[in-house]
């Protein structure tokens, strides 16, 4: 029987109603290739996770993987954190929200390391009892453009300051850096058990991390788009793969 030597990193996926002239109305499941490339370069095996409704099936998915990436995507349903939808809320996908709340709980219970990116940091925060700003315009003092209008995905945008005592600072060996930025929502109240470890210059939270085990790290920018050309970003994925490897070896 063949056994994989590298850890399997599950990546949550988006769903979209395709506007195909061949098969109109077909629902597709997808994820940006940048996530796949970042995991591969970091030494892991990428494994796409389509959203499922059954808890037992979702458990089977999480049992199969060694680490979890919560990818970017649509807005989180504000009812998940006790708010009515405001005027500037974007499109939501309740099916994906409910699925990711399940897999976050399952992965945490099984001690699987978790990395959340963009929407991923937001759903991690909501899953643990935190709240979100439904649009950046609702944040007092927010004066930086957080959704860059450039087509080059790895173009650097605004600056982020990182808590020097944080795991994130240790991982990337930096206390400040420029990042890309593609979001219109952000964390409002940090979930219990988590701390904010990075901020943009206008005070918007750019990273959170769990204060104990398991390894749970959320990042608001898109390091997967930068990992290939910006070497400072690759260690984020290498840290996840390293944690997943320890889990994999420990289970043998």
Q: Which positions are catalytic?
A: 118, 222, 224
Characterize the bridge pairing of strands 114-117 and 8-12. Answer: unpaired
Give yes or no for a contact between 89 and 44, defined as CB atoms under 8 angstroms apart.
no
Q: Which residues pair with 10 in a beta bridge?
A: 47, 68
B/e letters for 90-122, b = 16+ CB within 10 Å, e = fewer, are eebbeebbebbbbbbbbbbeeebbbbbbbbbbb
The DSSP symbol for 230 reads -
- The Cα 116–Cα 111 span in angstroms is 15
Q: How far is 59 from 20, CA to CA, in rounded Å?
A: 33
Going by C-alpha positions, the residue among 209, 231, 232, 235 that lies closest to residue 220 is 209
Q: Let me know: does 68 contact 113? Beta carbons within 8 Å.
A: yes
- Quote the CA–CA distance of 27 and 60 in Å, as a whole number: 23
Residue 29: beta bridge partners? 15
């Amino acid at each position: 029987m063949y056994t994989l030597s590298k850890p399997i990193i599950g990546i949550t996926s988006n769903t979209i109603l395709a506007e195909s002239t061949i098969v109109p109305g077909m629902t597709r499941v997808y994820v940006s290739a940048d996530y796949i490339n970042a995991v591969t370069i970091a030494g892991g095996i990428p494994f796409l996770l389509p959203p499922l409704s059954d808890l037992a099936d979702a458990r089977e998915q999480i049992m199969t993987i060694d680490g979890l990436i919560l990818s970017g995507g649509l807005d989180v349903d504000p009812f998940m954190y006790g708010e009515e939808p405001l005027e500037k809320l974007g499109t939501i996908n309740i099916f994906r929200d409910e699925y990711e709340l399940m897999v976050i709980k399952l992965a945490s219970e099984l001690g699987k390391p978790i990395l959340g990116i963009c929407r991923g940091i937001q759903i991690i925060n909501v899953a643990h009892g935190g709240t979100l700003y439904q649009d950046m315009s609702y944040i007092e003092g927010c004066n930086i453009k957080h959704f860059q209008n450039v087509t080059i995905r790895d173009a650097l945008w605004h600056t982020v300051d990182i808590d020097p005592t944080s795991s994130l600072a240790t991982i990337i060996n930096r206390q400040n850096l420029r990042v890309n930025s593609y979001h219109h929502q952000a964390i409002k109240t940090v979930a219990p058990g988590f701390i904010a470890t990075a901020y943009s210059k206008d005070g918007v939270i750019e990273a959170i991390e769990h204060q104990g085990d398991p390894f749970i790290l959320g990042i608001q920018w898109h390091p997967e788009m930068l990992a290939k050309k910006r070497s400072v970003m690759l260690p984020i994925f290498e840290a996840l793969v390293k944690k997943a490897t320890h889990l994999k070896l420990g289970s043998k």
